[in-house]
Each structure stands twice: as structure tokens, then as C-alpha cells.
Structure 1
Amino acid sequence: MGSIELKGVEKWFGDAQVIKGIDLEITDGEFVIFVGPSGCGKSTLLRMIGGLEEISRGSLIIDGRDATSEPPSKRGLTMVFQSYALYPHMSVRDNMGFSLKTAGAPKAEIEAKVNEAARVLKLHDYLDRRPKDLSGGQRQRVAIGRSIVRDPTAFLFDEPLSNLDAALRVEMRYEIAKLHQTLDSTMIYVTHDQVEAMTLADRIVVLEAGRIAQVGTPRELYERPANLFVAQFIGSPAMNVVEVTTGEGRYTLPGGRGGAWTGSAASRLGVRPEDVTIAAPGEGQLDATVDVLEYLGADTFVILDTAVGRLTVRADGASDLRPGQEIGLVFDETRLHFFDDAGLALAR
């Protein structure tokens, strides 16, 4: 079992409140990712679950028992940090089995668990090496293996891929996804990288200034953001947001063009870069001038100057657009997002 529940959890450092009443249920075997900008409280919240930070108010329930005041060693959780924290003088085998050895486990049990973790993480060929002889990705796998041998209730990952280069990050994302499928264990993962969040999570918890802005699957957050913060944080490139006026069954952009809208009064319109089609000048909702082209192979991100500010469009990689070219922009009317004055999403 590995269910975790937070009830009204708060964290205060003196007079500063950094976690502001978090209510969250994580089911057994779920992969949940905390994501948000720097300073939003995601690592602090993870450390509170792990017992490395005290909970100022509220309660933490692990598998039905109140673990709010339990020390880290009693919670049955294990943490994998950004730094590998491996013992340089020990072999991979000894690093992975160290926690079991200090707990007095029999040698046969230690060997069996280390070998099983090495099998899962493909580390058998490296068991007798020392950390200095390994790549960054291999060291991170050793750090994960050290956690696996403890057979924890849940794994807590605190930005484990931040120290890796781009290629290794992609490789380790795959390794962690496969690990979750293999172990079927509860995992809570902190990152500032939304690509990691979108590709790994069963559910994403978006944090803003110590509060939960939205919880949902990656698809739910991308297609149905609850507010303007989530809409612009989730997605790369970010959602384009422009000011609009609404009334008489339509929305109107600066310049007088727009389209149909029969919902509540909106002050801003959001449209994803892939939901805009490039057309001839004068067509669609806006005219624009091509400013910069970012060629990425299959896609080209087209950065545009418009009457409502800078917008980004995702175009085909074979696009023949050129800087300075005048174009029109056609919005996909079925995929627009509208927000009120408070930044809350309006029902479509």
C-alpha cells in the first residue's frame, strides 16, 4: 500500500507562510508530479511529506495512519535527491545495500535485494565499480536502486534529473517511467520542467505561491486549464493570451475582428500555438508580421508582431515563411480559451 493524504497542510517559517493549506489525496501506485515556478513551495511540500520539514499545521495520512509527527525513518518513504549523494569509496553494490546493512539485515537478504534492483535498473555490469567510474545517468540509477532495496511505501523524487545533460534527461525519463510500470509503486516527483511532468505523471499538481492552482491529468491541464496561470505555465511554447471584449454573442479583439462567443463576460482569450493557422493578410482574426523563425525540424515556431502584442504559432517544419512577411492568423474557434477579470477559465 502507498496512499498518501494531505489535510489542510501549512508551513510557516517564522511569520512567512510558504505552504498555504494544501488538501491532496494520492492513491496507491499513482505517479504524481508537483510542478510550478521557482519559489512556489513544491520542494518544501515534498520534504514535509518525507519528514525533512515539520508540518506547521494540518495532517499527513500514510496508508490510513496519522504520520504527521512521525520521524522520517518511521514513514516508510524514501527520497531520491538532485545530488546523487553516493559514498565515493564504496562500490555500487555497497552503496545500494548500505541502508540494509546499517539496519542489520542478513547478508543473503541484502544480496538478493541489491541483485533484484540491479536487474530492474540494468546495473549488473556496474556493481563492482565506484561512483567516479560511472556516468551521471548511471549514478542516478544507483541512487534510485539504493531506494528500491528498502521496498518503500512510496518514492519521493526531488528534481532528480536537474544535473543531467539533455540526452541523459531523455534517457532517464524513460528509465523512471519504466520503473514505475515495473514496480507499480506510489511516486511523488518534483520538477520545474513541464516536459518531465507531462510525459511522466498520472496526475500533475500545479503549485502557485504555496497553493494548488489545479490538479489533473496532463491532458486535462493542457486542454482544460482552470485559470490563466495554469494555461500559460503548461505548454511549450506557452499559450498566447490577448485582451478581448465580449457581448452580443461574439468576442472582439483590438482592431474590431473576432468571432462567436455566447458564454460569460470575458476579458482575455487564450489560443495554443498549434491552434492558429497561417493565412493571407486580411483573413482570420488578426494580421501579423513574421519577426523570428525558430526551426526545430518537424516544427517551426513562428514568432509574430501583431496589434495585440507578440504571438507564437507552431507551423510545419517545411514552412517557407520569412522574417518581415505579412500574414493573417485564423484561430480554431473550437479550441479557444476564455478567462474572466480574475483569470478564471470560463465554460465553453
Structure 2
Amino acid sequence: MGEIELRAVEKWYGDVQVIKGIDLVVEDGEFVIFVGPSGCGKSTLLRMIAGLEETSRGQVIIDGRDATAEPPSKRGLAMVFQSYALYPHMSVAENMGFSLKTAGASKAEQDEKVAEAARALRLEDYLGRRPKDLSGGQRQRVAIGRSIVRDPTAFLFDEPLSNLDAALRVEMRYEIAKLHQQLKSSMVYVTHDQVEAMTLADRIVVLSAGLIEQVGTPKALYDTPDNLFVAQFIGSPKMNVIDLPCADLRLSGEPAGAAHLGIRPEAISIGDAGAGDVDGVVDVAEYLGADIFLIVDCGAAGKLTVRIDGESTLRPGDRVGLHFTPDKRHFFDASGHALR
């Protein structure tokens, strides 16, 4: 079992409230990711689950047990930090088995669990090496392996890939996804990178200023954001937003009370000027191989990002008409809430 429930949890530092009454259930075996901008409270919330931060108000329930007042060692959770925190004088095997050794496990049990974790993480060939002889990705796998051997109730990850370069982050995303499939354990993961969230999570929790903005599957958050914050935070490039009314738009069918129109870059098609919903001039063309991102200056509608096929011959200075796919338009009221 690995269910984690937060009941109206709050965190105060003196008179400053950083977590503002959060309710959330992480189901057994679920991969849940906390995302949000810097300072939104995502790492603080993870540390409250781990017991590394005191919960000012509310309850942390782990497998039906009130763990709010329990120390980290009693919660049955394993945490993987941003820093690898490996002992440089120990081998990979010794690092991975250290917690078992300190807990009094037999040498045979240590060896068995370390070997099992090494197989899951493809570290069998590195068990005799020291951390200085490993790549960044291998060191992070060792840090994860150190947690696996403890057979925890759930895994907590605090921005584990932020120290890695772009290629290693892609590799480690794959490793963590495969690990979740193999272990079928609950995982709660913090990142500021919404690409990590979209590719790994069963559900994403979008946080802002200590509050949950929306919880849902990656597809639900991308296709049906509840508000402007989520609409622009989830997705790369982010959703285009046009303030309404806009004199340069040839728009129809907007709902009553619409103050903003949102449209994702791939939901815009290119045509001749004078056709479609708005005209503009190509300002920048960013070639990415399979795709090109056009930045189109549309006057009062602003500069809109359009994703088009990489074979396009459009260039800066070309005048175009933009057509918004009708069922992909998002409307928001003046306070930023979605109109549906």
C-alpha cells in the first residue's frame, strides 16, 4: 500500500503562510507530480509529506495512518534529493546498501536487495566503482537505488534531474518511468519543468502561491485548463492569449463574458492575408527540424506563436492570415477562469 492523503494542510513561518490549506489524495501506485513556478510551495509540500517540514495545521495520512506528528524515519517513505549525497569513499554497492547496514540487516540481505535494485537500474556493472568514476546520470541512479533497497511505502523525488544536462535528463526520465512501471510504487515528484511533468505523471498538481490551481492528467490539463495560469504554464510553447475585445480579430462565437481568448500554437493554421481570424506579419521563424515556430505580429492581437510543418517556406516579412481551429479555442472571463 502507498496511499498518501493531505487533509487541509497548512504551513506557516511565523506570520507568513506558504501552504494554504491543501487537500489531495495520492492513490496507491500513482505517479503524481507537483509543478509550479519558483516559490509556489511545491518542495515545501513534499517535505511536509516526508516529515522534514512540520505541518502547521491539517493532517498527513499515510496508508490510513495519521503520520502528521511522526518523524521521517517512521513514515516508511524514501526521498531522492536534487543532490546525489553519495559517500565518496564508498563503492556503489556500499552506498546503496548503507541504510540496510545501519538498520542491522544481514550481509546476505544487503547483497540480495542491492543486486535486485542494481538490476532494475542497470547498475550491475558499476557496483564496485566509486561515485567519482560515474556520470551524473549513473550517480542519480545510485541515489534512487539507495531508496529502492529500503522497500518504501512511496518514493518522494525533489527535482532529481535539475543537475543533469539536457541529454541526461531525457535518459533519466525514461529510467524513472520504467522504474515506476516495474515497482508499481506510489511516487510523488517535484519539478519546475512542465515537460518532465507531462511525460512522467499519471496526474499533475499545478501549484501557485501555496494553492492548488488544478489537478488532472497531463491531457486534461493541456486540453481543458481551468484558468489562465494553468493554460499558460502547461504546454511548450505556451498558449497564446489575446485580450478581448480586439479590433483586429475577425471572431465569432465567443461566449458571454469572455475577456480572453486562448489558442495553442498547433491549433492555428496559416492561410492568405484577409482570410481566417486575424492577419499578421511573420516576425521570426524558429526552425526545429520537424517543426517551425513562427512568431507572427498580429497588431492589436499581439505576437502569436504558430507551430507549422518544418517544410514550410514562410520567412520573416511574409504577410499571412491565421485561422483558429474552432473547437480548440479557449475562453476565459476577466478573473481568468475558463468559460465552458
Q: Same fold (TM over 0.5)?
A: yes
Take 2:129 and 2:210, find their aligned partners in 1: how far apart are those partners? 42
Take 2:233 and 2:145, find their aligned partners in 1: how far apart are those partners? 32
**Coordinate RMSD, CA, aligned:** 0.7
The answer to whether residue 293 in structure 2 is matched with residue 301 in structure 1 is yes
Q: Tell me the equivalent position of 1:93.
A: 93
SS in structure 2 opposite 1:258?
Answer: coil
Deviations 1:205-232, CA, capped at 9 Å, x for gaps: 0001100000000000000000000000
Q: Tell me the equivalent position of 1:316.
A: 309
Take 1:150 and 1:3, find their aligned partners in 2: how far apart are those partners? 17
What amino acid sits opposite 2:265 in the alignment? Answer: P
Take 1:298 and 1:218, find their aligned partners in 2: how far apart are those partners? 23
Q: Tell me the equivalent position of 1:224.
A: 224
Contact residue 249 and residue 278 of structure 2 kept, 8 A: no
Deviations 1:226-261, CA, capped at 9 Å, x for gaps: 00000000000000000124xxxxxxx323511223
Q: Tell me the equivalent position of 1:233.
A: 233
Take 1:23 and 1:155, find their aligned partners in 2: how far apart are those partners? 19
Match of 2:258 among 263, 266, 271: 266
SS in structure 1 opposite 2:226?
Answer: coil
Note the 1:78-117 alignment, pairs <5 A: 78-117=78-117
Take 1:223 and 1:88, find their aligned partners in 2: how far apart are those partners? 46
Q: Tell me the equivalent position of 1:28.
A: 28
For structure 2, list consecutive stretches of 5 or more residues without a partner in the other structure. none
Deviation at 1:9, TM superposition (A): 0.4
Match of 1:340 among 328, 333, 340: 333
What amino acid sits opposite 2:272 in the alignment? Answer: A
Identity of matched residues, %: 73
The answer to whether residue 267 in structure 2 is matched with residue 275 in structure 1 is yes
- Give the structure-2-normalised TM-score: 0.99
Take 2:197 and 2:247, find their aligned partners in 1: how far apart are those partners? 35
Note the 1:1-348 alignment, pairs <5 A: 1-245=1-245, 253-255=246-248, 257-261=250-254, 263-307=255-299, 308-347=301-340
Take 1:256 and 1:87, find their aligned partners in 2: how far apart are those partners? 61
SS in structure 1 opposite 2:338?
Answer: coil
- Do the aligned partners of residues 203 and 256 (structure 1) sit closer, same or farther apart at CA in structure 2, a change above 3 Å counting? closer
SS in structure 2 opposite 1:142?
Answer: helix
What amino acid sits opposite 1:310 in the alignment? Answer: K
User: Which stretch shifts more, 144-153 or 301-310?
Assistant: 301-310
Take 2:303 and 2:19, find their aligned partners in 1: how far apart are those partners? 34
Q: Which runs of 4+ in 1 moved over 6 A?
A: none
Take 1:256 and 1:104, find their aligned partners in 2: how far apart are those partners? 71
What amino acid sits opposite 1:334 in the alignment? Answer: D
What amino acid sits opposite 2:269 in the alignment? Answer: T
Q: Tell me the equivalent position of 1:250.
A: none
For structure 1, list consecutive stretches of 5 or more residues without a partner in the other structure. 246-252
SS in structure 1 opposite 2:60?
Answer: strand
Deviation at 1:265, TM superposition (A): 1.6
What amino acid sits opposite 2:208 in the alignment? Answer: E
SS in structure 2 opposite 1:260?
Answer: coil
Deviation at 1:303, TM superposition (A): 0.6
Take 1:288 and 1:34, find their aligned partners in 2: how far apart are those partners? 37
Take 2:320 and 2:49, find their aligned partners in 1: how far apart are those partners? 52
User: Which stretch shifts more, 86-95 or 307-316?
Assistant: 307-316
- Do the aligned partners of residues 34 and 256 (structure 1) sit closer, same or farther apart at CA in structure 2, a change above 3 Å counting? closer
Deviations 1:51-72, CA, capped at 9 Å, x for gaps: 1100000000000010000000
What amino acid sits opposite 1:147 in the alignment? Answer: S
Q: Tell me the equivalent position of 1:249.
A: none
Take 1:318 and 1:133, find their aligned partners in 2: how far apart are those partners? 44
Take 1:234 and 1:204, find their aligned partners in 2: how far apart are those partners? 10
SS in structure 2 opposite 1:70?
Answer: coil
- Do the aligned partners of residues 256 and 173 (structure 1) sit closer, same or farther apart at CA in structure 2, a change above 3 Å counting? closer
- Do the aligned partners of residues 181 and 134 (structure 1) sit closer, same or farther apart at CA in structure 2, a change above 3 Å counting? same
What amino acid sits opposite 1:317 in the alignment? Answer: G
SS in structure 1 opposite 2:132?
Answer: helix
Deviations 1:72-123, CA, capped at 9 Å, x for gaps: 0000001001100000000000000000000111111111000000000000
